[in-house]
Amino acid sequence: MDKILDVPIFLEFYSELLTERQAEIIALYCDEDYSLAEIAENLQISRQAVHDSLKSGMAAFEELEEKMGLVRKHNMRMEIVEDIIKTLTAPDFIGSGDRAGDKVDFIVSRLNEFIEI
C-alpha cells in the first residue's frame, strides 16, 4: 500500500471526519512507520482489518480532499506566505528606491490572492 506523502497534513485537516480507529491506524502506518502486522498485533486485530481500515481511510482522505480541497488551499497559502517572507527578507528590500514600491505591490498582490483562496 502506497503511503501518501502529506498524510500528517491530511490527518490534521480530516482526521475528525474518520473513525477514531481509522485515524489511529493511518497515523501508526504513515507517521510511525509500523507494518500492517505490527499494527495488527498492537491493536489486537487481524492484518486484513488493518489493511481494510487503511484502504478505506485513505479513500476517505482522497474523497474529502476532492470535495473540500483544504490541503490544496493550505499548500497554496503556504506558498504565498513563503513568497512574502522571501520578499520581505531580501537584502535589498529596504532602501531600494523604486524597487521597494514594486515589492510592496507584489506583497499586496500575494496577500490578496491569499484572501481569495
Amino acid sitting at position 102: D
- DSSP string computed for the chain: -PPPTTHHHHHHHHGGGS-HHHHHHHIIIIIS---HHHHHHHHTS-HHHHHHHHHHHHHHHHHHHHHH-HHHHHHHHHHHHHHHHHHHT-TTSTT-THHHHHHHHHHHHHHHHHHH-
Q: Residue 86: which pLDDT band, with cuts at 50, 70 and 90? A: confident
* pLDDT, averaged across the chain: 86
pLDDT tens-digit series, residues 30-83: 889 999 999 999 999 999 999 999 999 999 999 999 999 999 999 998 888 888
Grid cell digits, residue 86: 522571501
> Residue 114: phi, psi to the nearest 5?
-60, -45
Q: How far apart are the first and last CA of the chain?
A: 32
Grid cell digits, residue 56: 478505506
User: Does residue 9 have a pLDDT over 60?
Assistant: yes
